[in-house]
Amino acid sequence: MSTHNKLLLYKQILKPVWTYGIQLWGCAKPRNINVIQRFQNRVLRNLVGAPWYVRNADLHRDLRMDMVTAEVKRFARKHEERLLHHNNVEAIQLLDKGELTRRLKRTKPFELV
């Protein structure tokens, strides 16, 4: 198969699996996001048959694929735009960035943008 067809299969079959619910698990610890990034690196490397010494950044640049953190930000931005134009008042209140007292270092979905 050609590289174009392999990338097309990746984008239509594998990528929707890990992007499902990305707006929520984007707030996860960096360790958990790195697991998905390693999966993406491994799949892209196997698709094109790249040797071990090719940098992951070069691989992503050449294939025009975004890193997982960039995808998280893009999906979070799209999710926020949808919430801004939603009819339900309670959905709009999810974007409330009021004063929150936090005892834990958890990130909120609106902080991903």
**What is the per-residue pLDDT across 21-45, written as a single tens digit (0 to 9) for each?**
787 776 778 888 899 999 999 999 9
pLDDT of residue 109: 62
Structure tokens given for 8: 């097309």
**What is the per-residue pLDDT across 52-111, written as a single tens digit (0 to 9) for each?**
999 999 999 999 999 998 998 888 888 888 888 888 888 777 777 666 666 666 666 666
pLDDT of residue 42: 95
pLDDT of residue 62: 94
